[in-house]
Amino acid sequence: METMRIDKWLWAARFFKTRALAVEEIAKGRVHINGQVVKPAHDVKPGDEVALKGPWPRTVQVRDLSQQRGPAPVAQQLYEETAQSMALRAAAKERLRLAPEPAVSMERGRPTKRDRRELSKAWDQRWSASLPD
């Protein structure tokens, strides 16, 4: 049966731009094979379920192996994303789309020179090192 290292497969399937990035994510425990945390040298074979944790979690079923990194359409033939994973990613994208813009909550922009002087005066009056009379 054919097998290959998980870090090489993740790189060939274009989940990570370099093998070093794949190794880093695996070392952080963000890649699971069949529900188990693995090391970069762990072998993966067709039929295994690979779960990628992180900001955009994905769960994919390994369909094929490739020793070299090819174009994206070829890389997409190496795996099949589960229906549950696609639904979770779609829900996360929708939450992000509906989230309020952080800049909208800002009442004012950067303080002007005059505003900074006023803030400085208020600070000096409030926090004095001298004892009150």
pLDDT tens-digit series, residues 43-75: 999 999 999 998 788 999 999 999 899 999 999
| pTM listed for this prediction | 0.72
Of 77, 88, 24, nearest to 55 by C-alpha is 88
Contacts of 48 (CB under 8 A, 6+ apart): 33, 34, 61, 62
Low-confidence ranges of the chain (pLDDT < 70): 1, 106, 123-133
Per-residue pLDDT at 26? 95
- State the pLDDT at residue 110: 83
Q: Identify the DSSP state of 129.
A: S
Q: What is the pLDDT of residue 44?
A: 96
Query: Which domains, from first to last, does the chain contain?
Result: 4-91 (3.10.290.10)
